[in-house]
Amino acid sequence: MTALDFSFFNWNVVSGFVIKGFFFSIQLTLIAMIGGIALGTVLALMRLSGKPWLVMPAAAYVNTLRSIPLVMVILWFFLLIPLLIGRPMGAELSAVITFTVFEAAYYSEIMRAGIQSVPKGQVYAGYAVGMNYAQCMQLVVLPQAFRNMLPVLLTQTIILFQDTSLVYAIGAYDLLKGFEVAGKNFNRPVETYLVAAVVYFVICFSLSMLVRRLQQKIQIIR
């Protein structure tokens, strides 16, 4: 057993290497969450619309992305986007686009289940008081669906935060990369990987505890 030496780990290391990656991971998670939920809601509404020309493209989008490994999706976008726009694109921007598009598939499945969990009578009630489809969705169905689905959406966001570490594949500078670079610079990779694991664990574990508490609160209201 070799001795672990964490003495090199001070504030300068954190501010010099880790913080930049941490902010990118958070930024990536938040943008992909907001964009993914927005796009995912549209996809879910398309799949529930009952019109084949809306259902089919949305189903194809969701099923395709859900059956490809995320690393491959990241690589695909990193390869394809520059071909489409005709100029190279940074790994960070490519990652933001990829995660938004990819997570939308997962969020849309959650949204679909959430919308389906709202009783049909609510929709009929909406129509009965003279609302059109958009009003009924916006004012009656979606608010309830969002509340039903909030814990699952947040759990998916925690998974999304964990998955952001996979931008390693295209060399974007995220939280994990920050630790790795620090480890290489001080020739202490073992210690930095350990600290990285602890940091990820503390963040994800405390967030999932919060989600659990929120879930209990929402359950009482219902």
Partner 1 sequence: MKWDWQVFLQDTGGGQTYLEWLMSAWGWTLSVALCALVVALLVGSLMGILRTVPNKWLVLLGNSWTELFRNIPLLVQIFLWYHVIPSIFLALRGVPSFMLVVFALGFFTSARIAEQVKAGIQTLPKGQRYAGLAVGLTLPQTYRYVLLPMAFRIVIPPLTSESMNIIKNSSVAFAVSIAELTMFAMQAQEETSRGIEIYLAVTGLYFISAFAINRIALFIENRVQVPGMIGGGK
In the bound complex, what is the minimum distance in angstroms from residue 109's beta carbon to partner 1?
Answer: 11
- Return the closest-CA partner of residue 144 out of 106, 116, 124, 105: 116
**Judged by CB under 8 A, which stretch of 13-21, 99-107, 110-118, 197-205 contacts partner 1?**
197-205
Query: Interaction with partner 1 in 83-122: which residues (CB under 8 A)?
Result: 83
Q: Which of 5, 128, 201, 210 is the binder for partner 1 (CB under 8 A)?
A: 201
Does 79 bind partner 1 (CB under 8 A)? Our answer is yes
Q: Which of 30, 38, 60, 72 is the binder for partner 1 (CB under 8 A)?
A: 72
Which of residues 75 and 123 has its CB atom nearest to partner 1 in the complex?
75
Binding mask 1-30 vs partner 1 (x if CB under 8 A, - otherwise)?
xx-x--------------------------
In the bound complex, what is the minimum distance in angstroms from residue 133's beta carbon to partner 1?
Answer: 32
Query: Interaction with partner 1 in 136-195: which residues (CB under 8 A)?
Result: 162-163, 165-166, 168-169, 176, 189-190, 193-194
Q: List, in order, residues 6 or more apart from 153 with CB less than 8 Å away.
A: 37, 107, 110, 146
Cα angle 88, 179, 99 (rounded to 5 degrees) comes to 45
Give the number of C-alpha atoms closer than 13 A to the C-alpha of residue 127, restricted to the C-beta side. Answer: 5
Size of the site for partner 1 (CB under 8 A): 32
Q: Which of 11, 51, 52, 69 is the binder for partner 1 (CB under 8 A)?
A: 69
Calpha distance 31→111 (Å, rounded): 18
Please name the helix (run of DSSP H) or strand (run of DSSP E) that holds residue 13, with its range, or none.
helix 11-13
**Residue 148 structure tokens:** 């039903």
Q: List, in order, residues 6 or more apart from 8 with CB less than 8 Å away.
A: 186, 188, 191
Per DSSP, 174 falls in state -
Strand, helix or coil for residue 135 = helix
Which of residues 67 and 219 has its CB atom nearest to partner 1 in the complex?
67
Q: Is 52 exposed, middle or buried (0-12, 13-18, 19+ CB in 10 A)?
A: exposed
Chain contacts with partner 1 (rule: CB under 8 A): 1-2, 4, 67-72, 75-76, 79-80, 83, 162-163, 165-166, 168-169, 176, 189-190, 193-194, 196-197, 200-201, 204-205, 208
